[in-house]
Amino acid sequence: MELAFLPGQQPIRPGPLARFLPPLEEGAIAHAVAEWSAPGELILDPFGNSPRLAIEAALAGRAVLVTANNPIIRFVLEKSANPFTMQELQTALARLAAVPKNGTRLEPFLLDLYRTECERCGESVIADYFVWERDAQGPVLKSYTCPKCNFSGEIKTSLKDRQRVQTYSRHRLQRALALEQIAQSGDSYRRSAEEALGVYPPRVLFALVTLLNKLEQISFSPQLDSAVRALMLSAFDQTNALWSYPEGSRSRPLQLSISPRFREINVWRSLEQAIDRWAMNDPAIEVESWIPGASILPGRIALFPGPVRALMPALKQAPVRLVLAALPRPNQAFWTLAALWASWLFSREKAAPIRVALQRRRYEWAWYAGALGISLANLAKAVGRNTPGLIFIPEAEPAFIMAGAVGLQAAGFACTGCALRVEERQALSSWLADVGQKPVTPDMRLDNRVADAMRSILLQRGEPASYPLMHAAAWTALASCGQVAGHWKRARTRAIGEIDNAIETSLVNSWKFVRLDRGSEIERGVFWLTNPGEAEIPLSDRVEKAVVGILRQEDGLSELELETRICCQFPGWLTPERRLIRACLESYAHWNVDEELWRFRKEDQAEARGADCAEIEGLLKKAGIRLGYDIDEDDWISWREDRGVPGFVFKVMERASLGSVYQDVGGKQVNIVLPGGRGPLVAEKVRRDPRLKEWLGAGTRILKFRHIRLLAADLTLNRANLTKRLALDPHKDRDPQLPLL
């Protein structure tokens, strides 16, 4: 299970339909293929739901075979591998703008749909967008820039604005035309398609149908025609009512339901904005149709326009060396909209393979697991025994990881590793085509098995873990030994509930675990061990030590370079969150803007910090003697009262190893003395670990080096005011560091 997580960077330009495509980090795929394959080898993507994955693999010199049943994703992949030039997109929009419409051109006709009046000066202006509330009869806000009085911003709509928009609700012909392109009268998909159209405001639907009608009446060159359809695809995406306003939790909608508050974007403005989304950097990758038996050259992508199960008979002729994929997350919103968009842009016939999405409203995880197993059935045999598989799971959550594990094992793949970042919702799992694998017969010790797996993870981490991590660890442990397949074979859809119940029962009722948070939902719980005697040093302290070690050995690293090294040192369930790594970096290094590198601070070099610690220890000893205490010193400095009665205990450290100190003292109150720059790192560790928060709240103090220097120089310090003075921190305006807790 020692799988190293493969980090990347957030893409600067996510590209078209980014809200619906898997949010893979830039560079992660290139890193994966470098470790898991050799140049020129054939990689299979059985889901074809991520253009980024295929393009990065091809750019790394691999031959890539992609099965893409969704014509919308195929189109995005093709145009991402060989993107339009800015000039082509601008020309396409200009040609579209000049198309005649009702005695004028198409551009002013569509813009006029969004005409309003400036509330400041009364000038007639074009709105960029209107803001709706779902239950209102019309828009409640409008945004525009007035060329006369220069007002720019949002303002309440007028009665005339609300009356004007109602006129488009009566344009039933346009709605009928939009519906006809998806499903003809009498078609079993007709009613579902009509319901799906409800996510488009009436004025938007009127504008889109106008565009679609004109597209069928005019003739462009093939390249310009594709460019126009690309711009329109982005308009379809941007102008529906799924997006919340302001953008929030529904930035990646999963259900086809109108947001309580949404923005109706000016359709022509959305076409203009789409140019930047499609004017991408050119990777110059050739995309060709898959021809059974034909070899795929390195650096090229071969597309199979169908599901992976239809590819199976011919796949034995292809020497696949790696199965690489982003696990597709069930998304009723995108799958339904893709069926609409494919029908509008291409044809009902080309949309036929995905029209079934119009009728399904919900995708239960048990259904998804079964569907995944069926779609990948025989893939293990087709690619050959011991062929590795590397599966990225963006938007990872417990149920998603669980369903993926069930489906992959049911399809004949054996789990060999997993790494998870809970806060980033990113997971990575490795599998092996195991044709001869037999499901392990389930036994009656399921509760014990999951409990042992979760206890082992907590011992390895040495600190509490959240429910998603515990859940994933339990499922993966069962998958790695064949138990998941065994339960699935015996109970099918009930197997998921049985294993979930065993996990929850173990966490809630077992004497082995204790819940540290006070929440009501178990999914938000944080858990620790009742008996942690064998636990390792806390993970956060080990990560801090590793970051310092790397920076001292090799100063001047990019954040991605350091993060990659840390993930290699802490693989699998030890994978640290990016937020912790960043807190460590900011505590010990500074960002060089010119070099774009992190450089270690001079004051944190080993020799300098060693001198600082020695100085602070000396000051504490002198202060204790001046106040009349007996001094005991070893790794700790203890001030003792007469007859050896304990007084104050100090621990001087250069690193913020709070968890380690907590373990050493068994939760007793002490005074931890640290450099002031450790403040944000202390705050991050306390945020992650409820034990530390309770410990500090009960009396343990965090003292800065500067504070000890001030106390040592304070001639008014005595035993009577000592406790109060220790609680004081230097004034914020004299201290550039964040205040410690």
Is residue 313 exposed (0-12), middle (13-18) or buried (19+ Cβ within 10 Å)? exposed
pLDDT value, residue 482: 75
Question: How far is CA 24 from its chain centroid?
Answer: 8
CA 230 – CA 695 distance, rounded (Å): 57
The dotted CATH code for 539-600 is 1.10.10.10
- b/e code 495-517 from CB counts within 10 Å (16+ = b): bbeebbebbbebbeebebbebee
Q: What is the pTM of this model?
A: 0.92
pLDDT value, residue 3: 95
Q: Are 380 and 407 spatial neighbours (Cβ–Cβ below 8 Å)?
A: no
* Those residues with Cβ within 8 angstroms of residue 386's Cβ, 6 or more apart along the chain or in another chain: 432, 433, 434
Q: For the chain, give the number of residues.
A: 741
Q: Which helix (H) or strand (E) holds 181?
A: none
pLDDT value, residue 727: 86
Question: How far is CA 177 from its chain centroid?
Answer: 38
Q: Are 51 and 277 spatial neighbours (Cβ–Cβ below 8 Å)?
A: no
Q: Which residues pair with 417 in a beta bridge?
A: 430
Residue written as token pair 């059974």: 292
What CA dihedral angle connects 55, 60, 61 and 62, to 10 degrees? -60
With both helix axes pointing from N to C terminus, report the angle between 365-375 and 398-410 in degrees, rounded to the nearest 10. 30
Domains of the chain by residue range: 1-83+280-329+364-411, 96-278, 539-600, 606-734
Is residue 561 exposed (0-12), middle (13-18) or buried (19+ Cβ within 10 Å)? middle
Residue type, 405: A
CA 502 – CA 497 distance, rounded (Å): 9
What CA dihedral angle connects 67, 68, 69 and 70, to 10 degrees? 170
Tens digit of each residue's pLDDT (9 = 90 or more) over 235-288:
999 999 998 888 765 688 899 999 999 999 999 999 999 999 999 999 999 999
How close are the terminal C-alpha atoms of the chain, in Å? Answer: 37
Q: Which residues pair with 600 in a beta bridge?
A: 589
Question: How far is CA 343 from its chain centroid?
Answer: 30
Is the preceding omega at residue 353 within 30 degrees of 0, hence cis? Answer: no
Residue type, 205: L
Q: What are the Cα distances from residue 152, in Å, to 124, 159, 162, 263?
A: 14, 20, 20, 17
Q: Return the CATH class of domain 1-83+280-329+364-411.
A: alpha beta
- b/e code 727-736 from CB counts within 10 Å (16+ = b): eebbeeeebe
What residues in the chain have per-residue pLDDT under 70?
Answer: 1, 248-250, 435-444, 643-644, 729-741
pLDDT value, residue 313: 84
pLDDT value, residue 617: 95
Structure tokens belonging to residue 124: 């007639």
Sheet with 513-515, side-by-side order of all strands: 465-466, 526-529, 513-515
* Those residues with Cβ within 8 angstroms of residue 164's Cβ, 6 or more apart along the chain or in another chain: 115, 116
* Those residues with Cβ within 8 angstroms of residue 521's Cβ, 6 or more apart along the chain or in another chain: none
CA 638 – CA 629 distance, rounded (Å): 9
Residue type, 47: F
Q: Are 192 and 199 spatial neighbours (Cβ–Cβ below 8 Å)?
A: no
Q: Are 322 and 41 spatial neighbours (Cβ–Cβ below 8 Å)?
A: yes
Listed in sequence order, the DSSP H helices in 304-433 are 308-315, 332-345, 348-351, 365-375, 379-383, 398-410
With both helix axes pointing from N to C terminus, report the angle between 71-81 and 51-59 in degrees, rounded to the nearest 10. 30
Number of H helices, E strands in the chain: 30, 26
pLDDT value, residue 449: 85
- b/e code 711-725 from CB counts within 10 Å (16+ = b): bbeeeebeeeebeee
CA 379 – CA 311 distance, rounded (Å): 9
CA 33 – CA 17 distance, rounded (Å): 25
Half-sphere exposure of 422 (CA within 13 A, CB side): 18
- At 321, is the secondary structure helix, strand, or coil? strand
pLDDT value, residue 244: 86
Closest CA to 50 of 409, 413, 371, 326: 326
Closest CA to 570 of 679, 420, 448: 420
With both helix axes pointing from N to C terminus, report the angle between 267-278 and 86-97 in degrees, rounded to the nearest 10. 160
Structure tokens belonging to residue 236: 């379809």
pLDDT value, residue 634: 81
Tens digit of each residue's pLDDT (9 = 90 or more) over 42-79:
999 999 999 999 999 999 999 999 999 999 999 999 99
